[in-house]
A and B are shown apart, each in its own frame.
Chain A
Amino acid sequence: MIVSVASGKGGTGKTLVATSLALSLSDQTKVQLLDCDVEEPNTHIFLDIKEGQSSPALLLIPHIDEDKCTHCGVCAEVCAYNAIAALPKKVLVFPELCHGCGACSYLCPESAITEEGKEIGIIRQGSSRNISLVEGELTLGEVAAPTVIREVKRHIDTAGEVIIDASPGTSCPVIEAIKDSDFCLLVTEPTPFGLNDLSLAVEMTRKLGIPAGVIINRAGEGDQLIEQYCQEQDIPILLRIPLDRNIAVLYSKGIPLVEGMPDWRRNFLQLFHRLKEMLPTTEVSR
């Protein structure tokens, strides 16, 4: 089963949930944890990782063979992203605008365009006991986060349980991270910001047709705000993690909740079994 962890709002506790869920499950089964928050990958901070292979994440960008090029301008005309400018005697490529669609090389009448990989990130693999971690990191100054996320997700192995840590928001990098998940856990906090961004995240999972449940982090006095919304929208609240200074201190030191407070393992396992029960059996057994 593939479970993704998303949130809308940043800093609500996605990585806390993803790491604690992975660690709790790893007592019983093989777990793969994919860090798809490639702009700010943080899961490695919480796990004692034995590093494995790493490989570059490449974006295919055009390379113009000047000997073959007749400066016809077709490549610039077909590029939907304005990543190519055809001047009378020279073709300029702007790699930062390129989406790697391949239209220019496919359509070049002179076959003067080949594609070469430009490194825009790195994919690191590692393991920590029963958990295998795949982490993507976008090179600073690069923009193509979804490409790096796609590369991370190519490593998915559904032989065990798969947990995906997504980035905040509801736009393309998050979609790339959570699509094809069997279930999406939405982590929120009981504040007006948390509620606003939760409602966006719920819309997102609905648009993608992914079943979702809510985890309230820093739960306490404001919970009613979230509870009322979840009731109206018929979304289950699967777990509450209280506002607790000790939990915040553990997090600040990079200690997973279930390591610092082992009793929490049971809660995460219960959460997992509950969401498994919520899914149609065909999906679970795939």
Chain B
Amino acid sequence: MKELVIISGKGGTGKTSIAASFATLAQRKLLVDCDVDAADLHLILKPQVKENNEFWSGQSAFIDNEKCVQCGLCEKVCRFNAITNNYVVDPISCEGCGLCARVCPVDAITMKDNMPGHWFVSETRYGTLVHAKLGIAEDNSGKLVTLIRTRAKAIAQEQNLDYIISDGPPGTSCPVIASLSGADVALLVTEPTLSGIHDLERVASVCQHFGIPALVCINKYDINEQNTAKIEGYCNSNSVNIVAKIPFDTSMIQALEHEMPVVEFSNSTATQHIRTLWQNIVQALDDTRTEKQS
């Protein structure tokens, strides 16, 4: 069983559109949406939820105003400015360290467990999808990603599947690292804009830092061919393979508007490129050393 993670650094480069197309093209696979913060893959895959689990993680402080003597110690020790002037805890700022509760001289502060989100195991017409919804303004996205990836791996092993395809989040920090660690191959989807290049370089370095082999797909490559040449130069000098150059193609947007994978929506140029891209990825996944399989 091999795991592919699709990331990009910069948002909006086409990760989810490509992941949805792979859902159609890949055989014997399981899908994971690791963008737990702003998940979109379900809009195309239209899952039927089979398992709905609560995600419990972290704590928040609560002050009992009956007991509180307003000594101000909690406010003084809190590094997150979470204690407001009226001795109420701002749950959005509180990071749940519990120092206030430990130092309060009258035991007026208790720590309560948080449930920052839910995670789901669902059936789709493309196979099983493991996904999640982190509540608004919540913390611990990295832990939630790790949790759903662990569950996805267990299911894929149970069902004896060949591939796990994960749609990752944008950025470079905790949820991205949690999506990447231990994956067999990362597909970096970029676009030929200066922002796209800047973000690709950063996310490629993150892959290198964690020892994950990276492949690059340049989406809308013909929007700015000079920038595409810059990306090619960067990839060449860093020994990163470019596995696809997808031209700007309105069928990508039209498919999205119809909430369908583009490869199902039409036999457009983009579709043909994505088919070849998937073949190249299968090749790369099969080439990764077998000892990583465990």
Of A106, A138, A222, A245, which contacts B103 at CB under 8 A? A106
Closest to B259 in A: A192
**What per-residue 1/0 map shows which CB atoms of A99-110 lie under 8 Å from chain B?**
111110011000
With the chains together, A102 CA to B191 CA distance in Å?
42
Of B10, B38, B136, which contacts A40 at CB under 8 A? B10
Contact indicator B11/A9 (Cβ below 8 Å): yes
Q: Collect the chain B residues with CB atoms within 8 Å of residue A168's CB.
A: 11-12, 38, 170-171
Q: Collect the chain B residues with CB atoms within 8 Å of residue A204's CB.
A: 136-137
Contact indicator B92/A175 (Cβ below 8 Å): yes
Contact indicator A45/B198 (Cβ below 8 Å): yes
Contact indicator B95/A39 (Cβ below 8 Å): no
Q: Given A171-B134, A222-B257, A252-B192, are A102 and B173 neighbors across the interface (CB < 8 Å)?
A: no
Contact indicator B170/A252 (Cβ below 8 Å): no
A76 to chain B, nearest CB (A): 13
Q: Which of B182-228 contact A (CB under 8 A)?
A: 191-196, 198-199, 202, 205-206, 209-210, 223-224, 227
Contact indicator A193/B172 (Cβ below 8 Å): no
Contact indicator A103/B177 (Cβ below 8 Å): no
B72 to chain A, nearest CB (A): 15
Does chain B have a CB within 8 A of A159? no
Q: Given A168-B11, A204-B137, are A40 and B171 neighbors across the interface (CB < 8 Å)?
A: yes
Q: How many residues of A contact B (CB 8 A)?
A: 57
Contact indicator A100/B79 (Cβ below 8 Å): yes
**What per-residue 1/0 map shows which CB atoms of B95-112 lie under 8 Å from chain A?**
111110011000000000
Q: Collect the chain A residues with CB atoms within 8 Å of residue B170's CB.
A: 10-11, 39-40, 167-169
Contact indicator B173/A42 (Cβ below 8 Å): no
Q: Collect the chain A residues with CB atoms within 8 Å of residue B10's CB.
A: 10-11, 40, 42
Q: Given A141-B177, A168-B170, A172-B139, are A251 and B193 neighbors across the interface (CB < 8 Å)?
A: yes
Contact indicator B38/A200 (Cβ below 8 Å): yes
Does chain B have a CB within 8 A of A207? yes
Does chain B have a CB within 8 A of A8? yes
Of A39, A107, A170, A252, which contacts B224 at CB under 8 A? A252
Does chain B have a CB within 8 A of A80? yes
Q: Collect the chain B residues with CB atoms within 8 Å of residue A24's CB.
A: none
Does chain B have a CB within 8 A of A196? yes
Contact indicator B195/A15 (Cβ below 8 Å): yes
A6 to chain B, nearest CB (A): 11
Contact indicator B256/A169 (Cβ below 8 Å): no
Lowest 10 CB-CB distances: which A-B pairs, in order? A10-B11, A11-B12, A101-B97, A39-B171, A254-B194, A143-B174, A169-B37, A252-B193, A252-B224, A10-B170
Could you list 29 examples of A-B contacts with CB < 8 Å? A11-B11, A39-B9, A42-B195, A45-B195, A99-B95, A101-B80, A103-B99, A106-B103, A140-B202, A167-B171, A168-B38, A169-B169, A170-B137, A171-B137, A173-B173, A179-B93, A189-B12, A192-B256, A192-B257, A193-B256, A196-B38, A204-B137, A208-B92, A208-B137, A249-B223, A249-B224, A252-B191, A252-B192, A252-B224
